[in-house]
Chains A and B, each alone.
Chain A
């Protein structure tokens, strides 16, 4: 029997588009409307990509095991580990993330999310100088100038432009598309630079210099700015400052293009302070382009529970936070961890080589519905239901708005990661209380 499900929330990226229409036939996804290429692939390829059940490394091969045996293994491993890391979480619902944070405290582990390898530096900058941000609804209806800095939304957040910026209808404009302008700052040409009204090509590693030059010009000290700053001609810098000052409502979005490069959080701090100074002339906001569907949620949840947004170390019995030391990349690079629980993420594909090498040396449990690069490195993989397809939960959009995802597929047979993690937490807690 065919069916159409409306208002589905896409669980791919931080845009959390909530206008997806999914067509079902005999319980299978056969069509998707409104989603971008990334989201459509997520829905349409879901069933064929899923792992059928838990798998465990068996010498030089793999064997199937039951969920019961898999959970027994996890409980035993995490109970005995001295320096366990609990990493990932950005594809999990906040309900699962909360259990994860409590589990980390229970076993004296380190809990970190994919934040540390995407917008961790943005959080460090926000902790230094604050966050003059706003919701995407404000940007959609009011922003007449948009800056994408170190971000390629057409490939990474394909509907950001059509839902919230350049191509979106706006309450306060007659013809939003004609009245908005988009400035793209990047170190290379991308599909996003093609749609820019102003493209600023910065030499790699030069973002901090360009931001400093813009701030100097804004403060009336164009005289101290050299003719070319990191490949950008001074007249273009002056023009950009003028555009920004004449704007009624400006919104800057920045991507990992400036969180990962030299300067890290100092780049973001400089960008925030540029926006801060622009507010002496007109209204400007700045926000990170968060990648995973619920990476923002992990920061919220960990902060409610521990006081810190990521990289929280409970080994002292209290929450301790020191990015650079308690971030999972650093712990793995130092070869410190003796067990790993990886939740819905793929460090094998996205961590430096030394981290993958050390992950392969320790017992590693991977919760992921799909085989990934980390599958080759792990000891045990447990597939669970996918949040937004056959599981429901809360996720935070990139602007901090909580959105409830929907479960629209029944009877897939997969347990949710919330249920499995709760079982693990309860059993370890019970064992500790009875010890």
Chain B
């Protein structure tokens, strides 16, 4: 299923920006809110996982239903999971398309990576102390 992903600040995300290794930040920024009808089409329930892919790279997310979100759209609080799906192009403005990432969503049983594991995929070395 193809979705347009919107991102933005949430209170939980914003409250933990100085504690990004916390469980709260990890859970909040890796949880995708989707329209319940879209979830039904995908065959997933609240709390189950999906793999979101863009430009050949994917990230596993938890999904919760949100009937304020229109079909074909999703909301993912801003953070490393959302930006993993964002292309680097800026249309010569300096500003990427943060709020309109087009992603392919499929149900999965895979686990959600921590932010350290996610950055390891990009060549980083997780700091877990």
Choose from A41, A45, A57, A350 the contact partner of B125 (Cβ within 8 Å).
Answer: A57
Q: Does A259 contact B (CB under 8 A)?
A: yes
Query: Chain A contacts of B87 at CB under 8 A?
Result: 352, 354
In the complex with contacts A46-B18, A155-B10, A257-B8, A333-B88 CB distance below 8 A: yes
Q: Are B18 and A188 touching (Cβ within 8 A)?
A: no
Query: Chain A contacts of B116 at CB under 8 A?
Result: 376
> B15: nearest residue on chain A (CB-CB)?
A41
Choose from B79, B84, B97 the contact partner of A260 (Cβ within 8 Å).
Answer: B97
> B126: nearest residue on chain A (CB-CB)?
A376
A190 to B10, CA, bound (A): 10
> B94: nearest residue on chain A (CB-CB)?
A327
Q: Does B100 contact A (CB under 8 A)?
A: yes
Choose from B57, B70, B122 the contact partner of A377 (Cβ within 8 Å).
Answer: B122
- 1/0 per residue A8-52: CB within 8 Å of B? 000000000000000000000000000001100110011001000
- 1/0 per residue B86-127: CB within 8 Å of A? 111111111111111000000000000001100110111111
Q: Are A42 and B115 touching (Cβ within 8 A)?
A: no
Q: Which of B48-77 contact A (CB under 8 A)?
A: 57, 68-70, 73, 75
A256 to B7, CA, bound (A): 10
> B99: nearest residue on chain A (CB-CB)?
A260
Choose from B4, B18, B78 the contact partner of A204 (Cβ within 8 Å).
Answer: B4
Nearest CB of B to A171, in Å? 31
> A265: nearest residue on chain B (CB-CB)?
B93
Q: Are B6 and A350 touching (Cβ within 8 A)?
A: no
Q: Does A399 contact B (CB under 8 A)?
A: no
Choose from B6, B10, B57 the contact partner of A353 (Cβ within 8 Å).
Answer: B57
A308 to B68, CA, bound (A): 41
A156 to B21, CA, bound (A): 21
Q: Are B88 and A346 touching (Cβ within 8 A)?
A: no
Q: Are B88 and A121 touching (Cβ within 8 A)?
A: no
Q: Does B20 contact A (CB under 8 A)?
A: yes
Q: Are A324 and B90 touching (Cβ within 8 A)?
A: yes
A62 to B10, CA, bound (A): 32
A120 to B95, CA, bound (A): 7
Choose from B73, B93, B119 the contact partner of A376 (Cβ within 8 Å).
Answer: B119
- 1/0 per residue A98-139: CB within 8 Å of B? 000000000000000000110011001000000000000000
Q: Are B95 and A121 touching (Cβ within 8 A)?
A: yes
A37 to B124, CA, bound (A): 32
> A330: nearest residue on chain B (CB-CB)?
B90
Q: Are B100 and A353 touching (Cβ within 8 A)?
A: no
Query: Chain B contacts of A41 at CB under 8 A?
Result: 15-16, 18-19
Q: Are B125 and A61 touching (Cβ within 8 A)?
A: yes
Q: Are A204 and B73 touching (Cβ within 8 A)?
A: yes
Q: Are B124 and A38 touching (Cβ within 8 A)?
A: no
Q: Are A259 and B95 touching (Cβ within 8 A)?
A: yes
In the complex with contacts A330-B90, A376-B124, A62-B57 CB distance below 8 A: no
> A333: nearest residue on chain B (CB-CB)?
B88
Nearest CB of A to B82, in Å? 9
Q: Are A324 and B122 touching (Cβ within 8 A)?
A: no
Query: Chain B contacts of A333 at CB under 8 A?
Result: 88-90
- Further pairs besides A116-B95, A156-B14, A371-B20: 20, Cβ < 8 Å: A60-B125, A120-B93, A120-B95, A158-B11, A204-B6, A324-B90, A325-B92, A327-B93, A329-B95, A333-B89, A349-B29, A350-B83, A351-B96, A353-B84, A353-B88, A356-B80, A356-B83, A356-B119, A376-B119, A376-B125
Task: Pull 25 A–B residue pairs with CB atoms less than 8 Å apart, ordered by A.
Answer: A41-B15, A41-B18, A49-B18, A117-B94, A117-B95, A152-B8, A156-B9, A188-B75, A204-B4, A257-B99, A260-B99, A324-B91, A330-B94, A333-B89, A348-B119, A349-B78, A350-B78, A350-B79, A352-B86, A353-B57, A353-B86, A354-B88, A373-B20, A373-B119, A376-B126
Q: Can you list the 7 inter-chain pairs with the closest CB atoms, starting with the nearest?
A: A327-B94, A333-B88, A324-B92, A360-B123, A376-B119, A354-B88, A376-B124
